[in-house]
Structure 1
Amino acid sequence: MRLGRAASVVALVVIGVVGITVAPLQQNPVATSRYAFLDAMSSGKQDAYLQKHPDAAVGLLNLHPEANAAAWRDFPKDLRHDLAETLPSLIGGMEGVDYASRDVANRTWLRSLIGSAQRAVKKHPSDAVAQQKLRCLLAIKAALRIHKPHRYLVDLTNDPKPLAAIAIGNLDTTRLVSFTVPGMGTYSDDMQLWALGAQNLYDAQGGAGATKQRATVAWIGYVTPPPGIDAALGQYAHIGAQNLIEALEGFWAVRDPKTRSGKSASTKARDTITLNVVAHSYGTTTAADALAAKDLNVYSFVMLGSAGIEQSVGSARQLHAKHVYAGEATGDTEARWGRISRIDPRSPSFGAIPLAVDGDPNKDELPVTGHAPILHSDWNDNPMSSAWAKFTNVDEFAQKYLDHLQTYGYLDAGTESIANVAAVTVPPHHTDAHDATVSP
């Protein structure tokens, strides 16, 4: 497939003059995108399909992020900005496009999607699907409010439950990057909390001695299974792994560009940039599928409250990560239900390094008390917020609120869990000698 011809089908006519031949996708059962069948089509059939299914254009282009990156870098800066604003649904999701441009595109598209969703809810106020979509979009918008460091909307979809990814820090320039992958029941209407978890990790990495050249990504880039028996199924993870592979390959396409000969334009890029994956619950199953399928140059893969690793993966050595860790709280009674037919990554035979999460009083580090990824925020810690409005009985409210103040999730600030995750995701060459360090 030629990048320019496929892009022109979706009205990106200025790219139509770019003739870059891209290599066929490697046919790995997990790594293969659901759009891989388009790669095998003749030009005429491909054009006809894309004319009928224009939404498939991004999926087709994302089979080849390095080609996308090469074409995008050839455009003048002003043209890239104009394309991001005029074709936001295409540019915002295209792997290989720089993240600042994707942020411009996705913020533009988010405003449009919110307007459409508000009109849909107004027209059909009892439509639960429309209401949920609007909640998701508004939560994404709220998670982008002014913060330090700046947040970037690096991915967005127009699904009934929109998928999205928010970067805390600049993915185009930082040298330490950590993707956080959620588990069951985490959808983009939870984006404010999931982004807070990524922010907590960012802050904790600073406490572990990391320099300011870092970023974390709140990645809700796949449809997670709903709470219940679906978490024992593998299909959600299979599809999610494909999406995660695309996201991580897209990152390397931007940061480690290839020359026309296919060689790295910067031989030091993968030696000086550290990429981590931190996953929770069913997200560990999803991420393990992805890392087993492809070598994505991951430094540390951290699993928290794992729902289990598929038997086909077998051991930590098959995950193509330099370091593999697994932590689970004593009070986490839910994670094991996902491991009915899967491997516990903490088992000696699997080989993940144990990560302590039960608290360390000597360091004033709090214990994780259950399965939740994050329980505390300015909103749900505020007894006057709407989070507590349903408790009208004073005694019931007092007990529930007290219980809340004594429970902690894996990504909550101040926990031993977040401190140790930070410690194992910050390699020595990314630390500042003037900052304190935390030993894993």
Structure 2
Amino acid sequence: MKRAAMGLFATVAVLADTGAAAAQAAAGSEQIAITTPPAGSAQWVADRSLGRVLPDPATAAPRDVAAFFASLTEGDVDRLVTGYPLVVGNLDGVPPELRYRANRLAVAAERDRARTQAADPKLTHAARALAQARANDSDHLLERGRQILAFDPRGRGLVSEVYGDLASAQRVSVLVPGSEADLGHFDQAAEPLRSPAGMARALYEEEKRRASGTRTAVIAWTGYVTPVGLGPDAVTSRLAEAAAPRLERLLDGLAVTGRTDAPPTLFCHSYGSVVCGTAAPAIHNGTDVVVFGSPGMGVPDASALGTGVRVWATRNPSDWIGNVPYLEVGGLGHGADPTSAAFGSVVISSAGASGHNGYLSPETASLRNFAELGLGHYDDVRTAARRDGG
């Protein structure tokens, strides 16, 4: 009880942090989760121009979406892609190549909209600067060769990208990022491993290096609204609960549009491990879930995640997340430490990794282990000692 009380105090202290700023953080950094289909969905549902009912983006199962698109003519497909790019580009079950086409249109439209705002003299300087940043971020996604699997400009912007040939991949890995992942932070040139795109590229290149004969694909999935900073969202599961069904739909879609030999491997960083923990009971049997820099998975131990997943966990000694209390009291906190002896995960080495974002740095044991897990080379994974306590 003493330890729990101390941990709760520490959690509250993190929230308070700068004293008078606590109220501002509570009001200013709280995010609005996106749980509804993208813009254009209502018009899509009402559209009868093909003489048939279109699958409802809010309710249609990915397998039904896949069957619907397989039945269309090339002309029908073109009409839907060009008429409803945001719907097609975000609809799990649509073949990846069609989603890439649709999202190029959606991203270009958002870039042009933002450019118009940036040039509007009636807006404030700050508003024009924000619009220009959005235009630049969107423009980067249109660079040659990029495969945007999902794009939604609402709020801070959701974006997911594929590295490799998703349709033919034998092994697929999905990177689920943590706090402050959004369109503006999706791909950072200065510190790439602080961004979902940079982490996913590092994993993809390592998988290719270790098994050049295996067709692999890695998805950087920023498909949910993430917490910002260390405010209330970071220490509750509210955003993870909104994200979990979206992750489950992604995995269901991959199951009907790909040719993988095994379920995708999930790599869950920081708050992303709370998302993976929330989604775990609905995940297919045999799925590997790798958590790193985790504040907890929202459960007391691995058995509470259900029988469908195998949990692998790591945390390097210099990662500040280790100072966060591993408990859950009154809705604050995310439960036990996944690297603890009592949790029941396989603890893997992250030797050479430094800090909260260094797990995919070159020559680290964690990067090598992640690649081996993504490839299904379990005998080549280097384990590490579990931590004492919870």
TM-score computed with the length of structure 1 as normaliser: 0.68
Residue 111 (structure 2) aligns with: 114
Residue 126 (structure 1) aligns with: 124
Partners of 2:133 and 2:278 lie apart in 1 by 30
Residue 101 (structure 1) aligns with: 98
1:329 to 306, 311, 316: 316
1:163 partnered with 2:158: yes
Secondary structure in 2 matching 1:356: coil
Partners of 1:16 and 1:338 lie apart in 2 by 57
Deviation at 1:295, TM superposition (A): 2.6
Query: CA separation of 1:337/1:141 partners in 2, compared to 1, >3 Å: closer, same or farther?
Result: farther
1:200 partnered with 2:195: no
Asked if 1 retains the 8 angstrom alpha-carbon contact of 2:107 and 2:141, the reply is no
Secondary structure in 1 matching 2:350: coil
Partners of 1:12 and 1:161 lie apart in 2 by 29
1:301 partnered with 2:303: no
Asked if 2 retains the 8 angstrom alpha-carbon contact of 1:176 and 1:213, the reply is yes
1:80 partnered with 2:77: yes
Deviation at 1:7, TM superposition (A): 7.9
Secondary structure in 2 matching 1:156: strand
Query: CA separation of 1:250/1:131 partners in 2, compared to 1, >3 Å: closer, same or farther?
Result: farther
2:264 to 275, 297, 305: 275
Which sections of structure 1, spanning at least 5 residues, go unmatched?
Answer: 1-5, 21-56, 256-268, 359-366, 373-408, 430-436
Deviations 1:269-305 (A, max 9, x none): 67x244110010000011111112x033453211010
1:154 to 149, 155, 161: 149
Deviations 1:372-406 (A, max 9, x none): 2xxxxxxxxxxxxxxxxxxxxxxxxxxxxxxxxxx
2:137 to 139, 145, 156: 139
Aligned 1:391-406 pairs, distance under 5 A: none
Partners of 2:127 and 2:239 lie apart in 1 by 20
Deviation at 1:126, TM superposition (A): 3.2
Among all aligned residue pairs of Structure 1 and Structure 2, give the percentage whose two residues are the same amino acid.
23
Asked if 2 retains the 8 angstrom alpha-carbon contact of 1:176 and 1:273, the reply is yes
Asked if 1 retains the 8 angstrom alpha-carbon contact of 2:114 and 2:134, the reply is no
Residue 287 (structure 1) aligns with: 276
Deviation at 1:251, TM superposition (A): 1.5
Secondary structure in 1 matching 2:289: strand
Query: CA separation of 1:64/1:338 partners in 2, compared to 1, >3 Å: closer, same or farther?
Result: farther
Partners of 2:324 and 2:208 lie apart in 1 by 34
Partners of 2:142 and 2:303 lie apart in 1 by 35
Amino acid at match of 2:298: E
Partners of 2:51 and 2:325 lie apart in 1 by 47
Asked if 2 retains the 8 angstrom alpha-carbon contact of 1:89 and 1:105, the reply is yes
* Higher relative contact order, structure no. (Cα contacts within 8 Å, ≥ 6 residues apart): 2
Asked if 1 retains the 8 angstrom alpha-carbon contact of 2:108 and 2:138, the reply is no
Residue 302 (structure 2) aligns with: 315
Partners of 1:130 and 1:277 lie apart in 2 by 38
Which sections of structure 2, spanning at least 5 residues, go unmatched?
Answer: 1-40, 188-194, 329-334, 383-390
Residue 339 (structure 2) aligns with: 346
1:179 to 174, 182, 186: 174
Deviation at 1:137, TM superposition (A): 5.4
TM-score computed with the length of structure 2 as normaliser: 0.76
Secondary structure in 1 matching 2:324: helix
Secondary structure in 1 matching 2:245: helix
Deviation at 1:90, TM superposition (A): 1.5
Asked if 2 retains the 8 angstrom alpha-carbon contact of 1:132 and 1:161, the reply is no
Query: CA separation of 1:136/1:301 partners in 2, compared to 1, >3 Å: closer, same or farther?
Result: farther
Partners of 1:415 and 1:316 lie apart in 2 by 29
1:253 to 253, 256, 275: 256
Amino acid at match of 2:143: R
Residue 32 (structure 1) aligns with: none
Partners of 1:221 and 1:338 lie apart in 2 by 27
Aligned 1:11-90 pairs, distance under 5 A: 12-17=47-52, 58=57, 60-61=58-59, 63-90=60-87
Secondary structure in 2 matching 1:108: helix
Partners of 1:281 and 1:154 lie apart in 2 by 23
Aligned length: 327
Residue 236 (structure 1) aligns with: 239
1:355 partnered with 2:348: yes
1:371 to 356, 365, 377: 356
Secondary structure in 1 matching 2:264: strand
Deviation at 1:77, TM superposition (A): 3.1
Deviation at 1:424, TM superposition (A): 1.6
Partners of 1:16 and 1:337 lie apart in 2 by 56
Asked if 2 retains the 8 angstrom alpha-carbon contact of 1:8 and 1:16, the reply is no
Deviation at 1:423, TM superposition (A): 1.1
Asked if 1 retains the 8 angstrom alpha-carbon contact of 2:290 and 2:313, the reply is yes
Asked if 2 retains the 8 angstrom alpha-carbon contact of 1:281 and 1:335, the reply is no
RMSD over aligned CA atoms reads 2.7
